[in-house]
Amino acid sequence: MPKKRSRVEVIYGILKAVMENKNSIRHTPLLRSSNISSAGFSKYMAEMLEKDFVKEITDKNGTKYYSLSDRGFHFLEKYGAIKTFIQEFDL
């Protein structure tokens, strides 16, 4: 049985999904790619919006998109470095 992802791993996965979609993704595709429940996703998004990791953008048609903030890009960069460090030392 695969191990449960940590809170930080879930946040990393959501932010990475936004970045991989040219830094602009709608709610439903992001929810699907996060592989968590709708309620859980809402909690994570509220936290990431509060901590300024992502921005919610509404276009002229009223469609909402999520985009990474500078702080979100910085998180991805630092978390990636930590993952690399852990893998290098086989931890």
The Cα–Cα gap between 65 and 21 comes to: 11
pLDDT of residue 1 exceeding 80, the answer is no
pTM: 0.91
pLDDT tens digit sequence for 18-62: 999 999 999 999 999 999 999 999 999 999 999 999 999 999 999
Mean pLDDT across the stretch 1-23?
A: 93
- Strand-by-strand arrangement of the 64-68 sheet: 25-26, 64-68, 54-58
CATH (residue range 10-84): 1.10.10.10
The tokens of 51 are what?
């901590």
The tokens of 2 are what?
């695969």
Give pLDDT, residue 91.
79
